Amino acid sequence: MGSLSFPFERVPAPGEAIEVAPGVHWVRFSLPFSLDHINCWLIEDGEGWAVVDTGLRGHETEAQWHRLFEGVMGGRPVTRVFATHLHPDHIGQAGFLVRHFGASLWMTRAEFLLARILCLDVRPEPPAEAVEFYRRCGFTPEMLETYKARGFGNFSLGVSEMPLGYRRMSDGDRIEIGGDEWEVVVGRGHSPEHACLWSPARKLMISGDQVLPRISSNVSVGVTEPEADPLTDWLDSLAAIAGRVPDDVLLLPAHNEPFHGLHSRVQRLAVGHQRRLDLTMNALDEPRHALDLMLPMFRRKLEGTDLMLALGEGLAHLHCLRTRGLIAREEAGDGVHYWRRLVAARDAAE
């Protein structure tokens, strides 16, 4: 596997933009999480600007947008807002930008519709089927009470009011932005219909969260689609992207820094997830529920939000192994789901 290269020595400061290619500018917004930033992209587009991803809802991010309007953007309007996918750090300010400029929002159908649904689904506590989902994973009664106390529908807290309508993007669409043609390259697994934007002429691809240089995208099973196999979808998507997009592109990811080395990175990501699949097989020396597998899979004690994220990823690996015919899930008398190997771990590794 070849090495990655990072052509930029620094990252943009708040309110600043770094030009990564003629007419394409890199801006960065802070996030209140362990992953503390998101990269967004400004593309000079005729008399205005096309924006790709928007940052999280909040006064600080909105104030930074106003600094950009008056600074690098030179008072020229945003004409189109492109969202790679539905996660709040990507669409959190989309409604604000659309309303402020009368711009159009461009997304894939699955991402837009799911975002609208999640924004509307706000409840004082989780519904019974959500609680049951975690009970089947092995949550104790105390853990379930903690989960219920968090409320349900927090997605909307990070997203300004979504527009009612949008412009649909589909895989393979060719869209003119800034005088060049950009092709929509859809990936799956991290989110349902994640749109990357690839410009063959500029040798650029805005990869969103689908391909990141230093971390792996979160690939999780949750209550919305509890029987999904997103890891298989994600690995298949990565292989398809590497087969379709040349290795000489400069990738513009949503997190970390722009980089060269698409094919090498895809290979490394596949190898990394195979290691975790092997760890999971080794941990199934006896039937275990999903919560029981967190320590051997992640090799550290997990609590709070970290535990919830890890559980979703752990389930994604279990479902991938089930798709491959290597493990099976059984329900105990108390309704908890237990996983067991169908083949020896050494045979699965081969």
State both tokens at 246: 């040349």
| Single residue among 271, 304, 324 that ends a domain in this structure | 271
On whether both 90 and 48 belong to a single domain, the answer is yes
Would 2 be classed as within a structural domain? Answer: no
On whether both 166 and 41 belong to a single domain, the answer is yes
Would 5 be classed as within a structural domain? Answer: no
- Percent helix / strand / coil, the chain, rounded to 5: 35, 25, 40
On whether both 238 and 180 belong to a single domain, the answer is yes
Question: How much is the pTM?
Answer: 0.95
On whether both 303 and 330 belong to a single domain, the answer is yes
State both tokens at 40: 């967004």
On whether both 257 and 335 belong to a single domain, the answer is no
State both tokens at 66: 């106003």
On whether both 258 and 122 belong to a single domain, the answer is yes
Please give the Cα distance from 323 to 8 (Å, whole number).
41
On whether both 335 and 223 belong to a single domain, the answer is no
CB 313 within 8 A of CB 220: yes
Q: How many residues does the chain have?
A: 350
| Single residue among 247, 271, 295 that ends a domain in this structure | 271
Q: Find the CATH number of the domain harbouring 326.
A: 1.10.10.10
Would 138 be classed as within a structural domain? Answer: no
Residue span of the structural domain in which 340 resides: 143-150+283-349
Please give the Cα distance from 328 to 340 (Å, whole number).
6
Residue 2 is predicted with a pLDDT of 77
Would 133 be classed as within a structural domain? Answer: no
For the chain, the domain total comes to: 2
Residue 336 is predicted with a pLDDT of 96
Would 317 be classed as within a structural domain? Answer: yes
Would 186 be classed as within a structural domain? Answer: yes
Q: Find the CATH number of the domain harbouring 231.
A: 3.60.15.10
On whether both 199 and 303 belong to a single domain, the answer is no
Residue 349 is predicted with a pLDDT of 67
The conformational region for residue 277 under phi > 0 = left, psi -120 to 50 = alpha, else beta, is: alpha
Would 259 be classed as within a structural domain? Answer: yes
Encode pLDDT of 116-166 as tens digits: 999 999 888 899 999 999 999 999 999 999 999 988 888 999 999 999 999
On whether both 206 and 345 belong to a single domain, the answer is no
- Taking residue 265's Cβ as centre, other Cβ atoms within 10 Å add up to 24
On whether both 252 and 291 belong to a single domain, the answer is no
Would 276 be classed as within a structural domain? Answer: no
Provide DSSP, 173-206. Answer: -EEEETTEEEEEEEE-SSSTTEEEEEETTTTEEE
In tens digits, what is the pLDDT along the chain, a chain of 350 residues? Answer: 679 999 999 999 999 999 999 999 999 999 998 899 999 999 999 999 999 999 999 999 999 999 999 999 999 999 999 999 999 999 999 999 999 999 999 999 999 999 999 999 988 889 999 999 999 999 999 999 999 998 888 899 999 999 999 999 999 999 999 999 999 999 999 999 999 999 999 999 999 999 999 999 999 999 999 999 999 999 999 999 999 999 999 999 999 999 999 999 999 999 999 999 999 999 999 999 999 999 999 888 888 888 999 999 999 999 999 999 999 999 998 899 999 999 887 777 66
Query: Identity (one letter) of the amino acid at 3?
Result: S
| Single residue among 271, 299, 334 that ends a domain in this structure | 271
Phi, psi torsion values for 47, nearest 5 degrees: -85, 0
Residue 1 is predicted with a pLDDT of 65
Q: 87: which residues sit within 8 A by CB, 6+ positions away?
A: 191, 209
Please give the Cα distance from 258 to 251 (Å, whole number).
6
Residue 208's closest CA among 346, 349, 108? 108
Please give the order of strands across the beta sheet that includes 204-208.
174-177, 180-187, 194-199, 204-208, 250-253, 259-260
On whether both 213 and 338 belong to a single domain, the answer is no
Encode pLDDT of 18-29 as tens digits: 999 999 999 999
Phi, psi torsion values for 225, nearest 5 degrees: -140, 75
On whether both 227 and 335 belong to a single domain, the answer is no
